[in-house]
Chains A and B, each alone.
Chain A
Amino acid sequence: MTYVQNVTGGPNSALALRGLTKRFDDKVAVAGVDLDVPTGSFFGLLGPNGAGKTTSLSMAVGLLRPDAGHAYVLGHDVWSDPVEAKRRLGALPDSARMFDRLSGSELLAYTGLLRGLPQDVVNARAAELLEVLGLADAGRTLVVDYSAGMKKKIGLACALLHAPRLLVLDEPFEAVDPVSGALIRDILIRYVRNGGTVVFSSHVMAVVEKLCTHIAILADGQIKIVGTTDEVRGGRELEDVFVDIVGGRVSTGAELSWL
């Protein structure tokens, strides 16, 4: 991975999670997650459906109140010092809708003003982001009428607008066509090269294997394995490691015979 620079761990993590726990009624969704995302890393959070990826990331960015535990963005506690933490953080929540009855440029202007950026900065960055992400052609089309890939791209643009030091992306490659996916990948790689840190969740092995410097696998609300990509793989295919860790059943051929 040629674009890795200045990877540091420990207390200088870009994102540090300590004992995050969340329970919905009687179901424990996240059972004590500890995680250090080194500054300058491209960090993939893997896990099967229902493993608690979205729940963990929602707590990490301050959208979901944890039952216990802390989340720190570059040393600032997300829950007790939210203003400083969120200033350094850009997030693309998968479960949240956007204000999608605005056009792309309106949504960027709105986000920028809410972030407290000066008007001329918002104008310049919004125009550039729309151009680079290929959304300038959409003109005044409302985001609600965008395709899935365009929605991810405008969401990413909103997360990038204030030039955060940490990006937390929930399923950024979900339902995105290969062309948009490649564009998003290029932008993220450039961002990491310039010293930013990216954490993203996914269950697409190929993307994670190709992009990430670090990987954590989450299952049943707990981190099962974490390390650099090579450490986690241990010389095997990532998919095999994943299935081994997560477990699960394999089709025997006897069921669904009526199909």
Chain B
Amino acid sequence: MAVTGGSDAPIPQPRPGADSGPLWPDMGTAHPDTAHPAAVGVPAPRPAPPDAPTLRPHEPIATGRPRISYFVRLKLRILGNSLRPGRSHPADSARKRFGRHSRLILFILGALFGLWAAFGGFAAFAASSLATGHLRPTVAAFAGAAVVLAWVFVPLLFFGVDETLDPARFALLPVPRRTLIGGMLAAAFVGIPPTVTLLATLGSVIGAAYDGGLAPAIVAVLGAVVGIGVCVAASRAVTSAFARMLRSRRVRDLAALLIALLGISCNPLFQLVFALVQRGESRQATLVGEVLSWTPLAAPYVAYVDAIDGNWALVPVRLLIGVAGIVLLLWWWQQTIESAMIGSAAGPGANRRAATGEAPVRAFIPRVVRFLPAGRFTALLSREMRYWLRDPRRRASLISLLAASVVIPFAFTFGANGGRSGTPGLSEHALVFSLMFAGAFVGLVLVNQFGNDGTAYALHMLTEVPGQVELAARAVAVGVLAFPLLLVGTVAASILSGHAAELPAAVGVGLCAFGISVGAAGITSVLAPYPMPESTNPFAMNSGRGGAKGLLSFVSMFSTWILTAPVAAAFALLPDGLTWVVLPIGLAWGSAIAWVGTRIAGNLLQRRAPEVLAAVTPKRA
């Protein structure tokens, strides 16, 4: 690890004099021939000079006890090193000098973005804490549960977890399991997302202080602190558990199904939130809120409401529910982290010896694309398709993508329609607008397509694959894999919601958003590729780069939505009978942007291929 790289700052070091035993207890007896090396055929070393220190084979070697604070310092040090610019050379151009600071600049941008998000969240929590008395517990429960669920699902579905401290790296160190878990948890609090969440949830202090005074305000602070503990512990435990399942060849398909089901099961919650937003309280929402406030999901965030209402007996109970949740989650995390430390749960992998007897080329190309002429494009397409299914990291993001592409149309359509109030506007066109998101998500998995391949991309350079063919094949592969399911989801949602007439328009907007996101992601992936950590956890992200990734995805997503907006607007303005026109318009517009984007990105790639390869090569830093 780079943290040990020649610096005088306090790196965790084993300290002499503490009580744990030597690392290799039988070190002294393991080399009985030390005194007579010649006896076992080892060449005799030259005689030591007289002032050389004497040999003391039984001196304890690894002493001292690791502390939780070491993990936090280690993480801060790695974060700091990753932001440090490389040393400059007098011959560097001004642009190159500036480029050396790009990581720092991205980090600062991420921090500013985080600050903005924290302000927004703070305002939202403050507003919800000022809600009228009988609505307050429900709103507080939903807000808290939403925060915790976001912490569970966002890493799983979109951004991954910051695995700066890979547990596998500690496997050889004599760290007690409790210290390891405590340290990993403490280190997990270091970063922008936990800070943002804590700041945002502290917004409830405003309402607590305004309506209750000092004591409820203190309870609100305590609740926010316990709450962020639940958030971080939950996201770690859940991603670690799924990572283990995805590593194991036996249950990884089950894991895929579970992620999809979890995503879909958020649906009723969406509906209730929409209903709450639209019509204030409802009996259902109050009931669900009541239940949530007795679970670790929301309990810590509801404690201050009890304090305002004077139910002081309930306050410690709510906070303890949160703490109990943290303990349980940590216990679960500890169970799964062991397998991560040992490495692959399934061992070196099952040998699939049976050869098919088919000719290599035919066996390589998947059945669905065998009608294409066997050439470069087909080869790239086949490899991409196989990789989406075989590479654990890509599998994870494909699964999330598929889950999202089923969930989004449903959530929008039924969420907006939940009360059957038939309000025109959002609910009427929800299906079509939802495809704007779903289609864009499909294309945006390509935003770091070269980082996913890592140094294997060298093969494409050695064989001089034209940039445009490369990008087109990658986009088509994602489309071929993701669109059938997205289509099924959309058709089902449109029929079940009674908006079947909107189906052509929805498909048109979806294809349009996909095409545009492919163009945007193509350009981003060539201009700003970044390496992925070589970790066994498919959800792992490098520190600092998590922010960069989020930023790049946002930029691509916003440009996609801006470019899709005219098509969606056309749909909203057209009379009902003519909405099918959106299908050809969307298809044409999406294809055009995809073509332009791929052309630009392909030309860029042609010139920048060595730079792309260098950018996706995992650094030792």
Check if A63 sits within 8 Å of B613, measured CB to CB. yes
* Known A64-B614, A114-B460: A140·B355 in contact at CB below 8 Å: yes
Query: How far apart are the CA atoms of A114 and B379 in the complex, in Å?
Result: 7
* Known A98-B459, A114-B380, A252-B46: A65·B610 in contact at CB below 8 Å: yes
Check if B363 sits within 8 Å of A105, measured CB to CB. yes
Whose C-beta in chain A lies nearest to the C-beta of B90?
Answer: A26
A63 touches which one: B52, B53, B351, B461 (CB < 8 A)?
B461
Q: Which residues of the partner chain A approach B465 to less than 8 Å between Cβ atoms?
A: 114
Check if B456 sits within 8 Å of A109, measured CB to CB. no
Query: How far apart are the CA atoms of A116 and B361 in the complex, in Å?
Result: 13
Check if B360 sits within 8 Å of A126, measured CB to CB. yes
Closest Cβ of chain B: how far from A35's Cβ, in Å? 20
B374 touches which one: A115, A119, A127 (CB < 8 A)?
A119
Query: How far apart are the CA atoms of A105 and B617 in the complex, in Å?
Result: 26
Q: Which residues of the partner chain B approach A89 to less than 8 Å between Cβ atoms?
A: 462
Q: How many A-B residue pairs have CB under 8 A?
A: 160
Q: Which residues of the partner chain A approach B309 to less than 8 Å between Cβ atoms?
A: none
Is A243 interfacial (CB 8 A cutoff)?
no
Query: How far apart are the CA atoms of A145 and B610 in the complex, in Å?
Result: 28
Whose C-beta in chain A lies nearest to the C-beta of B91?
Answer: A23
Whose C-beta in chain A lies nearest to the C-beta of B85?
Answer: A25
Chain B residues 345 to 361 lying within 8 A of chain A, measured CB to CB, are 348-349, 351-356, 359-361
Q: Which residues of the partner chain B approach A86 to less than 8 Å between Cβ atoms?
A: 462-464
Check if B383 sits within 8 Å of A102, measured CB to CB. yes
Closest Cβ of chain A: how far from B386's Cβ, in Å? 6
Is A148 interfacial (CB 8 A cutoff)?
no
Check if A99 sits within 8 Å of B383, measured CB to CB. yes
Q: Which residues of the partner chain A approach B374 to less than 8 Å between Cβ atoms?
A: 113, 119
Query: How far apart are the CA atoms of A63 and B610 in the complex, in Å?
Result: 6
Check if A26 sits within 8 Å of B610, measured CB to CB. no
Check if B55 sits within 8 Å of A108, measured CB to CB. no
Check if A253 sits within 8 Å of B349, measured CB to CB. no
Is B47 interfacial (CB 8 A cutoff)?
yes
Check if A109 sits within 8 Å of B455, measured CB to CB. no
The winner among A25, A91, A99, A116 for most chain B CB atoms within 10 A is A99
Is A6 interfacial (CB 8 A cutoff)?
no
Is A197 interfacial (CB 8 A cutoff)?
no
A257 touches which one: B55, B91, B355, B387 (CB < 8 A)?
B55
Residues of B contacting A: mostly = loop
Interface size class of A (residues with CB under 8 A): 35 or more
Is A141 interfacial (CB 8 A cutoff)?
yes
Query: How far apart are the CA atoms of A114 and B382 in the complex, in Å?
Result: 12
Check if A140 sits within 8 Å of B356, measured CB to CB. yes
- Which of the candidate stretches A131-139, A185-193, A226-234 sits at the interface with the other chain? A131-139
Is A122 interfacial (CB 8 A cutoff)?
yes
Is A7 interfacial (CB 8 A cutoff)?
no
Is B553 interfacial (CB 8 A cutoff)?
no
Query: How far apart are the CA atoms of A102 and B349 in the complex, in Å?
Result: 14
Chain A residues 75 to 109 lying within 8 A of chain B, measured CB to CB, are 82-83, 86, 89, 91, 93, 95-103, 105-106, 108-109
Chain A 59-70: CB-based contact to B (< 8 A → 1; otherwise 0):
001111100000
Chain A 232-259: CB-based contact to B (< 8 A → 1; otherwise 0):
0000000000000000000111100110
Query: How far apart are the CA atoms of A89 and B462 in the complex, in Å?
Result: 8
Check if B387 sits within 8 Å of A258, measured CB to CB. no
Check if B354 sits within 8 Å of A122, measured CB to CB. no
Chain B 362-380: CB-based contact to A (< 8 A → 1; otherwise 0):
1111000000001110111
Chain B residues 289 to 347 lying within 8 A of chain A, measured CB to CB, are none
Check if A254 sits within 8 Å of B49, measured CB to CB. yes
Query: How far apart are the CA atoms of A139 and B357 in the complex, in Å?
Result: 9
Check if B456 sits within 8 Å of A98, measured CB to CB. yes
Chain B residues 376 to 431 lying within 8 A of chain A, measured CB to CB, are 376, 378-380, 382-383, 386-387, 390-391
Q: Which residues of the partner chain A approach B455 to less than 8 Å between Cβ atoms?
A: 93, 95-97
Whose C-beta in chain A lies nearest to the C-beta of B613?
Answer: A63
Q: Which residues of the partner chain B approach A254 to less than 8 Å between Cβ atoms?
A: 48-49, 51-52
Q: Which residues of the partner chain B approach A101 to less than 8 Å between Cβ atoms?
A: 386-387, 390-391
Check if B462 sits within 8 Å of A137, measured CB to CB. no
Check if A258 sits within 8 Å of B56, measured CB to CB. yes
Q: Which residues of the partner chain B approach A158 to less than 8 Å between Cβ atoms?
A: 459
Query: How far apart are the CA atoms of A110 and B383 in the complex, in Å?
Result: 7
Check if A25 sits within 8 Å of B361, measured CB to CB. no
Q: Which residues of the partner chain A approach B91 to less than 8 Å between Cβ atoms?
A: 23
Check if B354 sits within 8 Å of A109, measured CB to CB. no
B55 touches which one: A83, A141, A258 (CB < 8 A)?
A258
Closest Cβ of chain A: how far from B458's Cβ, in Å? 4
Is B279 interfacial (CB 8 A cutoff)?
no
What are 18 A-B residue pairs whose CB atoms fall within 8 Å in the complex? A91-B462, A95-B455, A98-B456, A101-B386, A106-B386, A108-B360, A113-B375, A122-B360, A126-B360, A127-B360, A139-B354, A140-B354, A145-B348, A253-B46, A253-B47, A257-B48, A257-B52, A258-B59
Closest 10 CB pairs of A and B: A113-B379, A96-B458, A109-B364, A25-B86, A139-B355, A140-B352, A96-B455, A114-B463, A139-B353, A109-B360
